[in-house]
Structure 1
Amino acid sequence: MTKLAPVRTPALLALFSHLCALMACWLLLFASARLLGVQVTLLVASLIQGLLAALIGQRLGLSGWWWPINLGFFPGLVLMQNYALPPWVPLIGFVVLLLLNWNALVERVPLYLTGPAAERVLAERLARLGDGFRFVDLGCGVGGSLLRLARAYPTASFVGVETAPLSFLICWLRCLPRRNCSVRMRSLWREPLGRYDAVYCFLSPAPMPRLWEKARIEMRPGALLISNSFEVPGVPAEEVLPVDDLRRSRLLIWRPGHAAAPDGPGANG
């Protein structure tokens, strides 16, 4: 059995980045004051600390969405102190971020949103499946792409899977008016994949090996596993669809079933 790499919790890496940045910032300001006679305001010091924390976090492998959080955390605290905001304001902000990004803490899967260009390429590829296909978005977030795809293909069936509480609630409310779209508050590891013709995910590198094994066991021949940007280590994609966006994204497509079959629900039995 293949050994998995040790889990590195992003929240702990972010905390470690801030601790290192605090120490480095204190040493830098202390040396500047003693040697050069330069003193800075608390806001400038917090900006220096935030920049160092963001750089350290990036070097430690934190995803890009952590950059503005690390950069703005301490400056935000200083600004709130200056404006005498009540203490529950940052607490509410933290709770909202936590409820939206719960998966980043427990499964190293941050809240990535499918961009418009990637969504167009995905919609064009789904058109080749024929009428009545079944689609699941593993980690659908707030459901924007899921709903737009459901509107584009009214005869198909769309399911979202999400465990971040606030993201799930927003997606559930948005899905209510659509009969061909639903969302489940369920871990992607508990969602059976054998019922779907297309399985879409925009996760992170961490869960891709385990997802591949799950898909290889559960998915039917000919069904598509579509990953936005993230590869399965050691398994070349059967199709690579480039996306014209700033991140130079790609849609990577595999057929994990044991035998390939023609596209379309009818081909899968």
Structure 2
Amino acid sequence: MARGRGVSESTAWLRRRPALVALVAQLGATLVVGVAIHLAAQWGGWRLSWLGAGLVQGLLAASLGQWLGLARWWWWLNLLFVPALLAASGAALPSWVFLAGFVLLLSLNWNSAGERVPLYLSGARCRAGLVELLARREADFRFVDLGCGPAGTLLYLARRFPAAQFVGVETAPLTFAIAWLRCLAQGNCRVRYQSLWRTDLSAFEVVYCFLSPAPMAALWGKARMQMAAGSWLVSNSFEVPGVPAERIVELHDWRRSRLLLWRMGGE
């Protein structure tokens, strides 16, 4: 039991650090491909172009990252990372291209540095679990997604519950812009450029978040001060330290995610 618990904790620790998992996938794939190319050259005289080797490495890194539990959107990053570096190394690219790439990544992951909240995307099973939970509320409930990302989950729920009102808050500039544009045509859904810490939680019956372990204790304190009795705080995967959830919904996905629900006034 102790060993199983240790393995589970190690897996959870890695899942909370996707950049580290991606680095492990990249290094592992590079080692395997490097050894394979060396052996092929020694034994068969067969050589692969640098770009071809990069593509093989990218495919292996992407597959390894998926096996280690990374979100699906990491697949493309792992696939293209080394081929892009190899292509760029052989091309006379202006320096502003690399600056633009840095700014693009920063604008998508602004929260990682300031709020210790990386970009996590809720999966299809999470959405199904949320639908099951929200069906228990009155039809005109008010829902906020703290750190809504590109608003995929927010839009999905808004379409499933047309009588309810949905709000997403996001502070990563490019992510916010994408979410805001996507929600323009959905009448019961809007997105604000706002920190979760400046969001008044008293305006909502359901508060949903998919953050990281770092802010959960502070968020719990904020929720207890602002949320009305009977309202719900729902967290994807991350617990409130020392406060058992009233209900846990296992999602049975490849990330071993779960929804944790706390009812205000019920702790």
TM-score scaled to structure 2, two decimals?
Answer: 0.70
Aligned CA RMSD, in angstroms, stands at 4.4
Q: What residue is the counterpart of 2:39 in the other structure?
A: none
- Structure 1 counterpart of 2:32: none
Report the CA distance between 1:90 and its aligned residue. 3.7
Which of 73, 78, 86 is 2:93 aligned to? 86
Match of 1:237 in 2: 245
Give aligned-pair identity as a percent.
56
Q: How many Å separate the matches in 2 of 1:179 and 1:85?
A: 47
Q: Check the 8 A contact 1:137/1:199 in 2, yes or no.
A: yes
Tell me what 1:130 maps to: 138
Q: Distance in 2 between matches of 1:10 and 1:231?
A: 18
| Cα distance in 1 for residues equivalent to 2:241 and 2:258 | 15
1:93–1:81 CA distance, 2 compared to 1 (3 A)? same
Q: CA deviation at 1:75?
A: 5.5
Find the aligned partners of 2:92 and 2:120 in 1 and give their Cα distance: 28
Query: How many angstroms apart in 1 are the aligned matches of 2:241 and 2:52?
Result: 43
Q: Do 2:71 and 2:121's aligned partners in 1 also have CA atoms closer than 8 Å?
A: no
Instruction: Tell me the residue number matched to 2:183.
Output: 175
Distance in structure 1 (CA, Å) of the matches to 2:251 and 2:18? 28
**Stretches of 4+ aligned residues off by more than 4 angstroms:** 41-47, 62-75
Q: Is the 8 A contact 1:101 1:111 kept in 2?
A: no
- Cα distance in 1 for partners of 2:241, 2:111 equals 21
Distance 2:250 2:230 in 1: 21
Alignment of 1:113-192 (within 5 A): 113-115=122-124, 117-192=125-200
Identify if the C-alpha distance between structure 1 residues 10 and 119 changes in structure 2 by more than 3 Å, giving closer, same or farther.
closer
After TM superposition, give the deviation of residue 96 of structure 1 in Å.
1.9
Matched, 1:110 2:119: yes
Cα distance in 2 for residues equivalent to 1:167 and 1:142 = 5
* Aligned equivalent of 2:217: 209
In structure 2, list runs of 5 or more residues that go unmatched.
1-16, 27-48, 59-69
Q: Aligned partners of 1:163, 1:190: CA distance in 2, in Å?
A: 11
Q: 1:64 to 1:210 in 2, by over 3 A?
A: farther
SS at match of 2:202: coil
- 1:65 and 1:171 map into 2 onto residues whose CA distance is 16
Structure 1 match to 2:66: none
Looking at structure 1, the residues matched to 218 and 72 of structure 2 have their Cα atoms a distance apart, in angstroms, of 23
* Unaligned runs of at least 5 residues, structure 1: 1-8, 19-40, 51-61, 262-269
Q: If each structure's helix is expressed as a fraction of its own residues, which one has the higher value?
A: 2
SS in 2 for 1:129: coil
Q: Relative to structure 1, is the Cα distance of residues 171 and 91 closer, same or farther in structure 2, using a 3 angstrom cutoff?
A: same
- Distance in 2 (CA, whole Å) between partners of 1:95 and 1:184 is 21
- Verify the 8 A CA contact 1:103 1:111 in the aligned structure 2: no
Q: Deviations over 1:26-69 (max 9, x none)?
A: xxxxxxxxxxxxxxx9879999xx9xxxxxxxxxxx99988986
The answer to whether the 8 Å contact 2:150/2:175 transfers is yes
Question: Aligned partner of 1:112: which letter?
Answer: L
Q: Distance in 2 between matches of 1:63 and 1:149?
A: 20
Q: Which amino acid aligns with 1:86?
A: L
